């Protein structure tokens, strides 16, 4: 098969990414080649590009792990995926090791992350393991008013908080507090609401609070002028006024900042669950004994179990989690300019880069 395949590769931190031709064919056994419809620009990509966070694959490397597209070639054992439209998991477990067999694929030691362990989605095509692919029903997609590129962000921005909400145990009648509601945090708020929680959104950006206000959030709090004690008091007052629990709050840290993590930790109450969803290289100063004193728990969240992807996608296709107000499409050819604009906070929606747009 002959196609004009190319990818934009990072050669060094902060250096312009370079358009590079390559041949994605043929895939090896158990692999598929996906013609990319869209790839979302994630905070993690910026960390690799601007902050010097090391990728597992040596440079040059194409970044990008939020990928949707169509399977155009299959290796032996993966033939059933031919011509299907799919979302590629951001973290792909091997599916065969002891951890995977015990339902712990997110800590599989043989896992593969596009744009980190292998070349990613800022390209026309990508070759990935077939294990864990999430099929996309185009009829349902179009009925929901979405395009295949739109659901690329399900691969991380939606599924990662979906897993966080699932493993935390959010149920109807819960109180969920989301710290940082841009990007992943905005979807976390929507997912928690879909699970039946009353959601409080905390951010220091009024624009992000305004954007999420009409999407399942009962209270928005601008955290710029509140210390930790005042913030917890305000949430507690809201809970009391609305007949919500004074204990066992679910707190989701999605800002990926040190101040956000300290803020989230400061919201602990008796029996609380703190889910760390955002990532930062910065260190924080917290008193871990609070976990003991409150009989609380703190949980990490790496990617999402591939078995949860269809249910997370269902929330999108059923309209319970809105994508359209929070994404915008750009040509893949503009990747360097888009990275700079996202890093400078000039774009308010999650950027999806599309080959040939």
Residues 196 and 293 in one domain: yes
pLDDT score for 210? 95
Residues 204 and 329 in one domain: no
Residues 77 and 202 in one domain: no
Average pLDDT, the chain: 96
Residues 294 and 167 in one domain: yes
Distance of alpha carbon 71 from its chain centroid, rounded?
22
- Neighbouring-strand partners of residue 275: 252, 299
pTM reported for the whole predicted model: 0.95
Give the tens place of pLDDT for each residue, 223-237.
988 888 999 999 999
Residue 277, domain CATH: 3.40.50.720
Give the tens place of pLDDT for each residue, 30-83.
999 999 999 999 989 999 999 989 999 999 999 999 999 999 999 999 999 999
Question: Is position 281 within any domain?
Answer: yes
Among 284, 300, 316, the domain-final residue is 300
Residues 349 and 234 in one domain: no
205: its two tokens:
């950006």
Nearest alpha carbon to residue 90 among 165, 7, 152 = 152
- Please state, as a whole number, how many other Cβ atoms lie within 10 Å of the Cβ of residue 77: 12
pLDDT score for 139? 98
Residues 143 and 50 in one domain: yes
Give the tens place of pLDDT for each residue, 137-182.
999 999 999 999 999 999 999 999 999 999 999 999 999 999 999 9
DSSP for 162-219?
Answer: HHHHHHHT--TT-EEEEE--STHHHHHHHHHHHTT-EEEEEES-HHHHHHHTTTT-SE
Q: 6-10, 83-87, 180-184, 187-191 — which is least confidently predicted?
A: 180-184
How many folded domains does the chain comprise? Answer: 2
Residues 171 and 309 in one domain: no
Residues 146 and 218 in one domain: no
Question: Is position 323 within any domain?
Answer: yes
- What average pLDDT does the segment 79-99 reach? 97
Residues 288 and 314 in one domain: no
Q: How confident is the model at residue 1 (pLDDT cuts 50, 70, 90)?
A: low
Residues 143 and 172 in one domain: no
123 half-sphere exposure, CB direction, 13 A CA radius:
31
* φ/ψ of residue 65, rounded to 5: -130, 10
Residues 10 and 135 in one domain: yes
Question: Is position 312 within any domain?
Answer: yes
Residue 61, domain CATH: 3.90.180.10
73: its two tokens:
């070639």
Question: Is position 1 within any domain?
Answer: no
Cβ(32)–Cβ(128) under 8 Å? yes
Cβ(24)–Cβ(125) under 8 Å? yes
199: its two tokens:
């959601």
Residues 6+ apart with CB under 8 A from 304: 89, 90, 91, 106, 156, 159, 160, 162, 163, 312
Residues 142 and 173 in one domain: no
Which DSSP letter does residue 352 get? E
Q: In what order do the strands lie in the sheet with 297-300?
A: 219-222, 198-203, 175-179, 250-253, 273-276, 297-300
Which structural domain range is residue 187 located in? 159-300
């Amino acid at each position: 098969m002959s196609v004009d395949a190319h990818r934009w590769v990072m050669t060094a931190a902060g250096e312009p990414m370079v358009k590079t031709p390559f041949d994605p064919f043929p895939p090896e056994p158990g692999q598929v080649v996906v013609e990319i419809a869209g790839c979302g620009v994630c905070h993690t990509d910026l960390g690799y590009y601007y902050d010097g966070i090391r990728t597992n694959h040596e440079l040059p490397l194409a970044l990008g792990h939020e990928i949707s597209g169509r399977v155009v070639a299959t290796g032996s054992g993966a033939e059933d995926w031919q011509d299907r439209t799919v979302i590629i998991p951001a973290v792909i477990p091997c599916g065969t090791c002891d951890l995977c067999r015990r339902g712990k694929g997110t800590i599989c030691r043989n896992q593969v992350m596009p744009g980190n362990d292998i070349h990613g989605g800022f390209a026309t095509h990508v070759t990935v393991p077939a294990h864990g692919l999430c099929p996309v029903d185009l009829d349902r997609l179009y009925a929901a008013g979405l395009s295949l590129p739109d659901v690329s962000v399900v691969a991380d921005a939606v599924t990662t908080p979906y897993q966080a909400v699932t493993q935390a145990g959010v149920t109807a009648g819960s109180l969920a507090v989301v710290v940082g509601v841009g990007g992943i945090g905005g979807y976390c708020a929507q997912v928690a609401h879909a699970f039946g929680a009353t959601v409080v959104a905390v951010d220091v950006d009024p624009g992000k609070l305004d954007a999420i206000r009409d999407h399942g959030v009962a209270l928005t709090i601008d955290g710029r002028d509140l210390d930790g004690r005042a913030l917890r008091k305000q949430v507690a007052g809201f809970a009391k006024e609305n007949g919500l629990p004074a204990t066992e709050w679910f707190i989701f840290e999605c800002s990926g900042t040190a101040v956000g993590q300290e803020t989230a930790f400061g919201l602990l109450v008796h029996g609380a669950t703190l889910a760390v969803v955002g990532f930062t290289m910065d260190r924080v100063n917290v008193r871990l004994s609070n976990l003991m004193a409150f009989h609380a728990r703190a949980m990490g969240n790496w990617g999402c179990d591939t078995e949860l992807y269809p249910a997370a996608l269902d929330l999108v296709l059923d309209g319970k989690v809105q994508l359209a107000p929070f994404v915008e499409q750009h040509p893949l050819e503009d990747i360097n300019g888009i990275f700079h604009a996202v890093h400078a906070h000039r774009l308010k929606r999650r950027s999806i880069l599309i080959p040939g747009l």
